[in-house]
Chains A and B, each alone.
Chain A
Amino acid sequence: MWRPSGIFNVRYEQDRSVIRTRAQWTALAVFLFLVAMAPFFFANNYLLSILILTIITIISLQGLNFILGMCGQISVGHSAFMAIGAYSTTIFMERLGFPFILSLPCAGLSAALIGMIFGMPSLRVKGFYLALATLAAQHLIHWGLLNGGELTGNIYGLSVPPASIGGFVLDTDRSYFIFCMLMLLLMCYFGKNLERSKIGRAFVAVRDNDLAAEIMGINIFRYKLLAFSIGSFYAGIAGALWAHYLLQIHPSHFTMMDSIWYLGFLVVGGLGSAMGPIFGGIMYIGLKEVVALITPSLGSLFPSISTNIFSGLALIFYALVVIIFLLFEPRGVNRQFNLLKSYYRLWPFAY
């Protein structure tokens, strides 16, 4: 649909390929080069730190996009699945002596398993009721981690070993950024391909009308559980990346509010699209930084009301952004991006 005018596919491979034109390949190569060079462009680790957090958020949002955006199942426990990933990687490394490169996928799989269990109610309930079931997951996992004895470190959380690959310790922001970026590319590639596979199409069918999908022969229970497990796998990987970056984890790092904002900013980015989580992640972390920058200044400008108003400004600001998008652009930033692309391709013609 978005193919530039004059490009004709003559083979099935061309039709299936994600990157179709020479210009797109060039753009990808330039992008990858810039990404690889990014750590050297930034004079300090602050921007790298923000980028790492953005990448982690994008991976997590991609997972939620499978559950909600593609399969139409609501999850208010996504942050808890991240916690499972964070705790799992630590336990695998510290207790079982796994190397990082093995503990990372194991963390994803652990989260996938737990996500699948909490996704089971999706067979019987949907919408608001499913939201409540996943809300229970958030609280149960939080409680479990706080009361998990020495295994989870109780109220003090766990100390996380640094990530290392083959003896090379990823203990600098530069090295960790490059690793996270590679993970993001891998997850995006996997996600994009999954979207175009039989599984992805089945997800969309379940989302659009589960009754019709079932009549067509799609095992909706299987696909709903699959969506939950794949989405939670992504969350688990994101949680593990967060843990190895911070080197310290606690259940308070994975709150219900995070889960809710992930939902909100996935809508802002664009539900059900491959680019949606990317835009959503950038918006979420970007807004956090903007609010943190402007709030103290606003507080000092209006000292008489700073305590009451500005203490909650961040929440007001996020909520406002989500509401504005729900009202005026429910398909998110991604739609505007696509409109811009098509406008650019057709320019100077209107159609």
Chain B
Amino acid sequence: MSIAFGDELVQKVRDGWIPAHIYNDTEIFDAERTRIFGRSWQFLAHASEIPQPGDYVVRRVLDDSFVVARGEDGVIRVLFNMCLHRGMQICRAEMGNASHFRCPYHGWTYKNDGRLVGVPFHAEAYGGDRGLLRDEHQLLPAPAMEIFNGLVFVSLNPDVEPLRDYLGGAADYLSFYTAPTSEGIEVWGPQRWRAGWNWKIAAENFCGDSYHTPHTHASMLEIGLTPQIKGGQRKTGGTYNAGRGFGATFGLGEGDLETKLSGIGYPERAVANRKRYWPESIKSLVADSGHLPSSMTLFPNLSFLHLWVTVDDEGTAVPMTTMRLWQPVSESETEVFSWFAVDADASPEFKDASHRAYLMTFGSSGMFEQDDMENWLSLTRTAKGSMARRLVLNSRMGLLHNNDSLRQPLEGFSGPGTVIQGFSEHNQRGWLNLWLDCMSADEPATATTTRSDV
């Protein structure tokens, strides 16, 4: 199956002309199910959400429900949440702690490592082991599963490339957000809410749409919630493409790593940890190049954001990090899973202050995020109609009429990937190009495991 538009239009999209209907189109979403979500790595949970043996959370990839469980052996496993017998969900809570899952339908019982250990009336109903060998049955595992910095990813494609290869240059940026100390991060949440907008809009926005910030989020500056730092500005920041990651940076002024990080509210221990544990490329990016990563989307639908917020009338700046999954429900509905992330070894006071900084700005009630949602909803609605099929949207910022680049990539940028200084949509085009690659490539493999006992 080919996507709903031909080769000529594909080239147009690559040049930054986006057919408006892709933001609300049933056929395109049907193709995305297999071509995007059936083949990419998908984030499900962070290890800190299930710290103890027996802890579990239930998450999904589109319609596929998975239990992410830490076994009694401490190992994290991802199990398809469907009983091997008649297909009932074996776990219907969102989270909890259990050594076993018992299907409510007929009572088949599984250990939290997926093994079938209990079958009611085993002898009477099945003739015992002669009819049903419990040892040979286990809940279907995710076709592929890997963990990076505590981030648990799965893929519905058993032949997916190794996660580290998939991430490419995005790995160091991921470590900026998720590996600031030897203890890593802990995540709080998630807040979950759903509304009527297409998932791609959010994914692209978090690639670092720094152009929308001064306008959509003008109220943040007006009420003094975003502290201005000396010499710091978005204009001297940039937009980057690195592997499967697309992001933006904030331009920091002069100063070494300590000065810069303490200037935005990091306590001494957090600064020392970053100096020690961040990848070299990130340390140099912040200290030498003067770029502080702000937001990033890891293709396709996992995003991160870091910023600092004025949390009191004294002007105290506190940094915060959020991580969010844009979980599509349909072409016109998306559920957000939004977590707050913080250094696992930070003091309770810092965690609390940073958490408040998160709640004020992002998440379900966040003052930044509120206005984004309003835009995305309105855009999605308008993309449904017939006029939207006649309109190609202009996403060409940074390209001249002849498709040459307005500005060349920065020389001496320490981070992985290529960066263009100032406003540009080359990062969002990078994400969209990857989307096109997936949409135009052959159908991905489906899981070869079709029976639970092989």
Indicate whether A and B interact: no
